[in-house]
Structure 1
């Protein structure tokens, strides 16, 4: 009974992290910019998945992935080093699937009882699929904008109503978190307290924030 209770709690942690647009047999998640995913996660790491084991605890089942952590970007105050990632064994309960010994992944999640939990609603992606700006955001930029609010725009007209907001319009083109803003911009707070989009370039990284840049 106690193990079933603990597993139910872990699923609630997974369900509470709504970061990626996904719909799989009842698992639905809200769209979110990768910066929001970073800021709302307790753990952000880059890791290679090297093994998995199905745990039959509780009524739902848990998949435990063994990972080789390459780098930790967030979560030093929670765990020193991540060795296992826990998720639901069922995609219908927002369980995420990783391929073994093939790719490095960016993995985000939450911590409960010193265990790291993730799911389909968290931002989990193959590292090679991330844009250079997203990699830069994860390592440096996103943490500078966690006091900002990224406001989603689904239908025009859309307006910012607070100085700490950045207007996110990728949904207008139906690309969501794979859209141009998501792949190239971070919402960063300036000294005056205003937040605006910041774009990193591959040729030379900018050192100032241009609020009017397209």
Structure 2
């Protein structure tokens, strides 16, 4: 397997590589999942960009000024460059230079940080207060929990470490109320349940369909 295809597999897991000939498609994920499944999670401002000739279609290298790291200290304490595919059809992401602070998640491959449309990339000002608090503390507490999407009612958890995610049922679409306001937290007894970002975990809270 070529170095480039190895990177694709790393970033997108076990997806069928047939997606390479089609437009990029990604399944929605809760911000906590994106956090827990990423090697690197930072708040940063893009200060430069350069088109590199890596891979068959080119790679965009963004120079970033890291404001804060939320995950990834052991892999890369400080991030200077973020790499992404130059083509949006290959899940490359476009970031504005010297304009916004971004929340950026990504994976480390051969000493470089890669990200794309299937990773969580968001303008910092668009994050809710519970999401920001989740990055600082809450999401860490739920990385052993499983967030289970619900597409059709009724939905039930099949294990004590599951939280049922119902944003897909909302007529308002994704991201929904749970994504913006809740984290799935593991309790002392091993059960996982939804909690709002600013409320201390309460072991009596029920893991309800509509928290």
| Fold in common (TM above 0.5) | yes
Report the equivalent of 1:105. 102
Q: Is the 8 A contact 1:11 1:88 kept in 2?
A: no
Instruction: Indicate whether 1:206 and 2:203 are aligned.
Output: no
Q: Is the 8 A contact 2:147 2:184 kept in 1?
A: yes
| Residue segments in structure 2 that go unaligned for 5+ positions in a row | 16-21
1:91, CA displacement in angstroms? 0.2
- Report the secondary structure of 1:28's partner residue: coil
TM-score, L = length of structure 2: 0.89
Matched residue, 1:59: 56
More displaced 10-residue stretch of structure 1: 176-185 or 141-150 = 176-185
CA offset at residue 59 of structure 1?
1.3
C-alpha RMSD over aligned residues = 1.9
Q: How many residues align?
A: 202
User: What CA distance in whole angstroms lies between the structure 2 residues aligned with 1:111 and 1:17?
Assistant: 17
Residues 7 and 87 of structure 1: is their aligned pair in 2 closer, same or farther, counting only changes over 3 Å? same
1:50-82 alpha-carbon deviations (Å, 9 max, x no partner): 100000233110000000000000001101200
Distance 1:52 1:16 in 2: 27
User: 3-state DSSP class of the match of 2:25?
Assistant: strand
Task: Could you list the structure 1 runs, at least 4 aligned residues long, displaced by more than 6 angstroms after superposition.
Answer: none
Corresponding position of 2:132: 135
**CA–CA separation in structure 2 for the residues paired with 1:11 and 1:60:** 13
User: Normalising by the residue count of structure 1, what TM-score does the alignment of the two structures yield?
Assistant: 0.88
Q: Which runs of 5+ in 1 are unaligned?
A: 19-24
- With a CA cutoff of 8 Å and minimum separation of 6, indicate the structure with the bigger relative contact order: 1
What is the DSSP-based 3-state SS (H/G/I as helix, E as strand, rest coil) of the residue aligned with 2:141? Answer: helix
Superimposed CA distance per residue, residues 79-134 of structure 1 (whole angstroms, 9 cap, x where no aligned partner): 12000000000000000110000000000010011100000000010000000000
| CA contact 1:14–1:94 (8 Å) conserved in 2 | no
1:157 to 154, 159, 181: 154
